[in-house]
Amino acid sequence: MLKNFADIFKVPELRKKILFTLLIIIAYRIGAVLPIPGINAEALKSFFAVQSNGLLGFFDMFSGGALNRMSIFSMGIMPYINSSIIMSLMQGAHIIPYLDRLGRDGEHGRKKLTQITRYGMVLLSAFQSFGWIMMIIRIPSPSRIPVVVDPSWSWIILAGSTLVAGSVLIMWLGEQVTERGIGNGISLIIFAGIVERLPHAVLSIVKLIQMEEISVILALMLAIIVIIVLVLVVWIETAQRKIPIHYAKKMIGRKMYGGQTSFLPIKVDQSGVIAVIFAVSVLSAPLTLAQFTPEWTIWGFPIARKITEWLSATNSVIYSLVYAFIIIFFYYFNNSISFDPKDLADNMKKSGGFIPGIRPGEPTSVYIQKVLERVTLVGALFVACIAVLPDYLKSALGAPFFFGGTLLLIVVGVSLDTAGQIESHLIMRHYEGFIKDGRVRRRWFKVK
């Protein structure tokens, strides 16, 4: 195993990519601890100590602790993800014909769509930054000390422009990792923010055990829950459904071609961590809007205050149902725009391939669509349960830190994706992968 890891640094190109990725992550972590001036750090920390098990605590974990420090990277990568969601929804729903034309325009169109997404990210970042600033100005800390020392308009403009610039810089860092490093840059930045908090969480558990505030049995139960969820996440991330494909024999010149059998693999977790990250981003929108209309009521019912309360309790029924529904929706939406059964069936027909017992053409497309829908349903329900249920168990056991199924889904998904890319580079250079048999093992999942 150690020899296989050492082989990573024997490939010059791979070594440069990994070192560049690590350098970008270090730069991101440095920015995450640089605070904006004019913030009472102690008051802000005391506020987040109360909100540690709510949605704000989850966002703080998502940003790697940048939010509770009010650093220049407090907004994180969320504005860029929200902009990507809006662009994907508009393209998938065919709302704007211009975007559809760009989507069919090859590399030039892709660059234009990326540019529009960036502009949208700047606008959303300004909107979310202003909402967050208004929130910390209004809310006092538990000790009734204002979080902002001097909430003047000059400070608001300075803080808002700093947060927007920080989000743009994070987006640029992520794109640099994707182009010149290893793995998906945006996902790795989120991954780095989550993993950075794990040692602190473990140390806090140890200290609480030493202070006898929690028992050793409770700590072991929490560890068992995390291990079980981790195993289940790895299980679903590596599961696939194989559709057998046969190729008819055909004579070309004097040689016989075809007659082979292969498989069409469909991952159970086809969308990876995208659906989970999208769901978290969508949940942040109502919380931001509520800060602009804190006194908004309908027939005397305090809508804005109730939205804040519902989203601040991650173990509430309403929060869980909304969160699970958004995950399932984006699961189906992402699969519908990334997997086209009709094109796949047409390509199989052109190359002489067919599924045993299914006629080529339209029947093949219908069959693949049915299999995809069933596999997607299994994956979506599984991921929604993994994302929601650990929060209830953690709340019932009194866990002192926020680390549920959602974060495990992201950590495992990003880890497997990055490991797969590293192995691909090793195998291309005739090295054995650092995972047994030189590849990330996939398990086959049977759905009729």
In 3-state terms, what secondary structure has residue 297?
strand
Contact 422, 182 (CB under 8 A): yes
Helix (H) or strand (E) holding 211: none
The percentage of the chain sitting over the pLDDT mark of 70, rounded to a whole number, equals 76
At 106-150, the pLDDT tens digits run 778 888 888 888 998 899 888 888 878 887 887 766 667 777 878
Rounded CA gap, 71 and 181, in Å?
25
Residue 220 confidence (pLDDT): 82
Structure tokens at 310: 């519902």
Domains, the chain:
2-444 (1.10.3370.10)
Residue 442 confidence (pLDDT): 52
Rounded CA gap, 61 and 52, in Å?
9
User: Which string of DSSP letters, residue by residue, matches 26-80?
Assistant: HHHHHHHT-BPTTB-HHHHHHHHHHSTTSHHHHHHHHTTTHHHHTBTTTTTTHHH
Residue 295 confidence (pLDDT): 59
Residue 258 confidence (pLDDT): 58
Position 435 pLDDT exceeds 70: no
Position 201 pLDDT exceeds 80: no
Arithmetic mean of pLDDT over the chain = 77
Rounded CA gap, 103 and 356, in Å?
34
Burial 308-329 (b: 16+ CB within 10 A, else e): bebbbebbbeebbebbbebbbe
Residue 23 confidence (pLDDT): 92
At 319-342, the pLDDT tens digits run 778 888 888 888 888 777 777 788
Residue 447 confidence (pLDDT): 47
User: Which string of DSSP letters, residue by residue, matches 218-240?
Assistant: HHHHHHHHHHHHHHHHHHHHHEE
At 9-54, the pLDDT tens digits run 777 888 888 899 999 999 998 888 888 888 887 777 777 766 665 5
Which of 96-100, 130-134, 348-352, 388-392 is the least confident region? 388-392
Q: How would you classify the pairing of strands 239-247 and 353-354?
A: antiparallel
Q: How would you classify the pairing of strands 239-247 and 261-267?
A: antiparallel
- Vertex 154 angle, CA 152 and 158, to 5°: 120
Residue 196 confidence (pLDDT): 79
User: Which DSSP symbol is given to 298?
Assistant: E
- Vertex 407 angle, CA 122 and 222, to 5°: 155
Q: How would you classify the pairing of strands 443-444 and 239-247?
A: parallel
Rounded CA gap, 279 and 332, in Å?
13
Binned at pLDDT 50, 70 and 90, residue 438 comes out as very low
Which of 94-108, 129-143, 357-371, 404-418 tops mean pLDDT?
Answer: 357-371
Q: What residues pair up with 140 in beta bridges, in sequence order?
A: 146
Report the Cα–Cα distance between both ends of the chain, in Å, rounded: 38
